[in-house]
Amino acid sequence: MDHLWAPWRAQYVEQGDRPSGGAAACFLCRGLAEGDDRGNLLAWRRPRSAVYLNRYPYNNGHLLIAPKAHQARLGDLDAGELAEPVETIRLLVGVLDRLLKPDGYNVGLNLGRSAGAGLPGHLHWHVVPRWDGDTNFMPVLGQTKVIVQGLADFYDRLVSELDREGMREVGGGSG
């Protein structure tokens, strides 16, 4: 068996960064409540939504877009709580286009644990940049995904671009 050294996964395995329920245990809510945006990989606070880097990315630039409201079902969100994250996805796809120049995206929302939601209590959309050929021999034959940029480096790039474009003026927290 081949092994891939991925120390960033240790936190997920050892500390159980998989909340059992409630806003108090939710890493998205915890990130919003704390002042350490960089440490929580919280890149952008909007009035009704937030943008996080995925701590366990499927690809470079993998983002999580979440309403600030801790809700598990679409029907529990009001119109603004639902509309702003979708608008945020549109804006962030444009930013990622400029930063990473992907060939496409996977954008999705997993509703419930059986649908693949790792955090079923707080809705969030995944935005995963994709490149032609990014499913090369490594994941197919070696069952290994190569991520070419560290989370801290990409966080700094993304926040810098959001600041440069004047997008992070709303909200708070520390960058």
54 carries a ligand binding annotation: yes
Bridge partners, residue 80, by sequence: none
Q: Tell me the helices (H) and strands (E) count for the chain, helix number first.
A: 5, 5
Cβ atoms < 10 Å from Cβ of 6 = 12
State the residue for tokens 């929580």: 40
59 carries a ligand binding annotation: no
State the residue for tokens 């796809």: 93
Amino acid at the residue 57 = P
- Which residue in 3, 62, 122, 124 is the catalytic one? 124
The answer to whether residue 124 is catalytic is: yes
User: From the annotation, which residues make up the binding site for substrate?
Assistant: 54, 126
Residues carrying an active site annotation: 124
Q: Residues annotated in the binding site, as ranges?
A: 54, 126
